[in-house]
Chain A
Amino acid sequence: MPNELGGLTGYGHACVAPWLVRAARLSSIMLAIEVQNLTKKYPHTLAVDDISFTLRKGQVLGLLGGNGAGKTTTISMALGLLTPTAGQIMVLGHDMARDRFAALARMNVSSPYIALPARLSVIETLRVYGLLYNVPRLARRIEDLLEQFNLSALRNRPTGALSAGQKTRVALAKSFINKPEILLLDEPTASLDPDTGDFVRTTLKQYCADEGAAILLASHNMAEVEPLCDDVLMMKAGRIVDRGAPEELIARYGRDDLEQVFLDIARSPAI
């Protein structure tokens, strides 16, 4: 039987109470991403070390950690760009190591580590990705995004000729092209001025509320994470060392803001 019941039937729980089965099914339907014991080893590096977490639909989950904490590696595995060494990552009920294409059409990504074709204009870039994601009424969708991300005046400019902030806005517009159910964002407000950064955070929050979309956001920008994320996973050396809502973490560490929590974790050899 397909593992719609979150794996319960697969383990032979023949006498599980019906309410528990229904709860498990509901939980499975509500999950956007389910990560179990995920590990990524390179020949000389353990990039991600046995992490588990879930991302619910409508939730914004932050992956917080310094350079080399494993955030980008985790996002890459969630996209199927990287195969795990061990463990499993299920996206919208599909195993990304084996069946990623069924999920990829319903998700999207923006990352400063992946560029857009520099010689294509903004509108051509959005058209290419709209076709790749088979977006209906593409011309209308592109116009909406150009307006939403204040890119109308730049529509015919090659993306390679744009400023860093403008490129980030194009990348975000591209990540919205297919109205994704899951957005994977790696430092989405990098290179943006404070005003545009605030606009992006508001847009992301609104999109989640309107569409019930889930966002997995990797960042080391605390000012971005604190107002945007419902929950945060603190990562260090490939492991999840703590988790909770931003205000919970701040209270638990007895600090004033998430940045101080981040520094406590980063500097403590015990964690």
Chain B
Amino acid sequence: MNAATRIWAMIYRHIAVYRRSWPRLVEIAYWPTLNLLIWGFTARYFAGTHLQGGIPATASLVAGVLLWEITLRGQLGVTFTFLEEIWSRNLGHIFASPLRPSEMVGSLLAVSLLRTVIGLLPATIIAYALYRYNILTLGPVVLLFFLNLLFMGWWIALGIVSLLFRYGAGAEALAWTIAFGITPVACVYYPVTALPAWLQPVAQMLPAAHVFAGMRDALLNRIVNWHEMLLAALLNLAWMLGAVAVFGLEFRAARRRGALISMGE
């Protein structure tokens, strides 16, 4: 119960900021909506055409944008929330309180989930209003896509938070760019076979490539590709365990270096 109260304290700390700052709320939904508009109109231009394998272009592109935004928003939700503490030079007070690092991570994930849902809601509604595409037509498997992609965003974010512990706000640029940099090998809009042979093993190590293979199966064949889903889940688990281990190591190193007090802009 105490742990839940402490986690709620950190969630409340961020909700209190968002509820009186409309620019922050707009920022959460801005990029998903903008991406959807760009790719949605592109898809409309290609309306009626089919991609290799007979997948309808509109559905593939719009579903791809919406689903990939889950990873991007999930990652940014964690790292941006953590950066808020660095910018306000508040980490010393937080870690001098009884809040455990695991509870801090729990609160970061909870705020990230809130930001992801708030950020994607307008884009999902616009997808239906402008392009007559409803992501829920993929079926219940969309929940598995959501969870896998969100989880992927979270372990990337924990890796970035670890870098922030090591390099301070100097690593801030990575928080904004790493997940976008992964996009080419996430195989959002094309299958893994579209990549050069040497790059395909890299893509296969990412849960996203398997999730989007599953998405294309759901679009084309209306089936749930359990094999790809299982691979995505196992890869996520392995990456998350690695990210948690690195986070723990870097947190301890930050305590040795005094970074919890000195970290700031």
| Contact between chains at A133 and B97 (CB < 8 Å) | yes
| B40 CB, min distance to chain A CBs, angstroms | 34
Please report which residues of chain B, range 211-265, place their CB below 8 angstroms from some CB of chain A when the two chains form the complex: 252, 255-258, 260-261
Q: Return the CB mask of B1-28 against A: 1 if under 8 Å, else 0.
A: 0100110111011001100010000000
Q: Return the CB mask of A119-139 against B: 1 if under 8 Å, else 0.
A: 111001001111111100000
Q: Contact partner of B89 among A101, A115, A132, A134, CB < 8 A?
A: A115
| Contact between chains at A131 and B256 (CB < 8 Å) | no
A127 and B91 alpha carbons, distance in the complex (Å): 17
| Contact between chains at B92 and A114 (CB < 8 Å) | yes
Task: Give the nearest-CB partner of B96 in chain A.
Answer: A79
| Contact between chains at B9 and A128 (CB < 8 Å) | yes
Q: Return the CB mask of A70-107 against B: 1 if under 8 Å, else 0.
A: 00110010011111000000000000000001001100
The interface centre, meaning the residue of B84, B98, B255, B256 with most chain A CB atoms within 10 A of its CB, is B98
User: Which of chain A's residues have a CB closer than 8 A to the CB of B256?
Assistant: 82-83
Task: Give the nearest-CB partner of B94 in chain A.
Answer: A132
Report if A120-B17 is in contact (Cβ < 8 Å); known contacts: A81-B261, A115-B89. yes
Q: Contact partner of B90 among A104, A105, A115, A130, CB < 8 A?
A: A115
Task: Give the nearest-CB partner of B93 in chain A.
Answer: A114
A133 and B13 alpha carbons, distance in the complex (Å): 14
| Contact between chains at A113 and B98 (CB < 8 Å) | no
Chain A: interface size category: 20 to 34
User: Which of chain B's residues have a CB closer than 8 A to the CB of A132?
Assistant: 6, 9-10, 94, 97-99
Q: Contact partner of B98 among A105, A116, A117, CB < 8 A?
A: A105
User: Which of chain B's residues have a CB closer than 8 A to the CB of A134?
Assistant: 2, 5-6, 98
Is B52 interfacial (CB 8 A cutoff)?
A: no
Is A56 interfacial (CB 8 A cutoff)?
A: no
| Contact between chains at A124 and B255 (CB < 8 Å) | no
Q: Contact partner of A116 among B2, B6, B93, B258, CB < 8 A?
A: B93
User: Which of chain A's residues have a CB closer than 8 A to the CB of B2?
Assistant: 134
Chain B: interface size category: 20 to 34
A120 and B10 alpha carbons, distance in the complex (Å): 12
| B255 CB, min distance to chain A CBs, angstroms | 5
Q: Contact partner of A113 among B88, B92, B252, CB < 8 A?
A: B92
Report if A104-B6 is in contact (Cβ < 8 Å); known contacts: A76-B258, A120-B16. no
Q: Return the CB mask of B80-92 against A: 1 if under 8 Å, else 0.
A: 0000110011111
| A39 CB, min distance to chain B CBs, angstroms | 13
| A193 CB, min distance to chain B CBs, angstroms | 24
| B7 CB, min distance to chain A CBs, angstroms | 9
A108 and B92 alpha carbons, distance in the complex (Å): 11
Is A111 interfacial (CB 8 A cutoff)?
A: yes
Report if A114-B258 is in contact (Cβ < 8 Å); known contacts: A131-B8, A132-B97, A134-B6. no
User: Which of chain B's residues have a CB closer than 8 A to the CB of A129?
Assistant: 9, 93, 97
Q: Contact partner of B96 among A72, A83, A104, CB < 8 A?
A: A104
Report if A115-B88 is in contact (Cβ < 8 Å); known contacts: A81-B258, A129-B97. yes
Is B180 interfacial (CB 8 A cutoff)?
A: no
| Contact between chains at A113 and B261 (CB < 8 Å) | yes
A54 and B50 alpha carbons, distance in the complex (Å): 77
| A173 CB, min distance to chain B CBs, angstroms | 13
Please report which residues of chain B, range 93-109, place their CB below 8 angstroms from some CB of chain A when the two chains form the complex: 93-100
User: Which of chain A's residues have a CB closer than 8 A to the CB of B261?
Assistant: 72, 76, 81-82, 113-114
| Contact between chains at A120 and B98 (CB < 8 Å) | no
Is A109 interfacial (CB 8 A cutoff)?
A: yes
User: Which of chain A's residues have a CB closer than 8 A to the CB of B5?
Assistant: 131, 134
8 tightest Cβ-Cβ pairs between the two chains A and B? A131-B9, A114-B92, A115-B89, A132-B97, A105-B98, A79-B96, A132-B9, A117-B88
Given A104-B97, A109-B92, A120-B13, 17 further pairs, Cβ under 8 A: A73-B258, A81-B92, A81-B261, A82-B261, A83-B252, A114-B90, A114-B92, A114-B93, A114-B96, A117-B84, A117-B88, A124-B12, A127-B12, A128-B9, A128-B10, A132-B97, A174-B93
Interface residue ranges, A against B (CB under 8 Å): 42, 72-73, 76, 79-83, 101, 104-105, 108-109, 111, 113-121, 124, 127-134, 174
- Sampled A-B contacts (26; CB under 8 Å): A82-B255, A82-B256, A82-B260, A82-B261, A83-B252, A83-B255, A101-B100, A104-B96, A104-B98, A109-B93, A114-B261, A118-B88, A119-B17, A120-B16, A120-B17, A121-B16, A124-B16, A128-B9, A130-B9, A131-B9, A131-B12, A132-B98, A132-B99, A133-B97, A134-B2, A174-B93
